[in-house]
């Protein structure tokens, strides 16, 4: 998967949490809160993977 596609995947994942966040914060739905927490963990993991890819690309560019 191309690097920018992963960034788009990250944005889509975060946008997908909006409805459940609304249900949790505005309607008190605790199950929605659980889904938001799981989704945020996925966001965290994907963001870390993207950070590592960027660092590797920067290091490879400097080594040339």
pLDDT of residue 46: 95
Contact 48, 10 (CB under 8 A): no
Domain with 19, as residue range(s), is: 3-63
pLDDT of residue 62: 86
Q: What is the rounded radius of gyration, in angstroms, for the C-alpha atoms of the chain?
A: 16
The pTM (predicted TM-score) of the whole model is 0.84
Give the contacts of 36 (CB within 8 A, at least 6 positions apart).
17, 20, 21, 24
pLDDT of residue 2: 58
Domains: count for the chain: 1
pLDDT of residue 63: 82
pLDDT average per 10 residues of sequence, the chain (64 residues): 82 96 97 97 96 91 82
């Amino acid at each position: 998967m191309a690097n920018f596609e992963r960034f788009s995947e990250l944005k889509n994942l975060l946008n997908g949490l909006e409805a459940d966040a609304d249900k949790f914060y505005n309607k008190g739905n605790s199950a929605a809160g659980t889904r938001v927490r799981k989704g945020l963990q996925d966001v965290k993991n994907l963001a870390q993977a993207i950070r590592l890819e960027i660092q590797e690309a920067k290091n490879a560019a400097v080594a040339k």
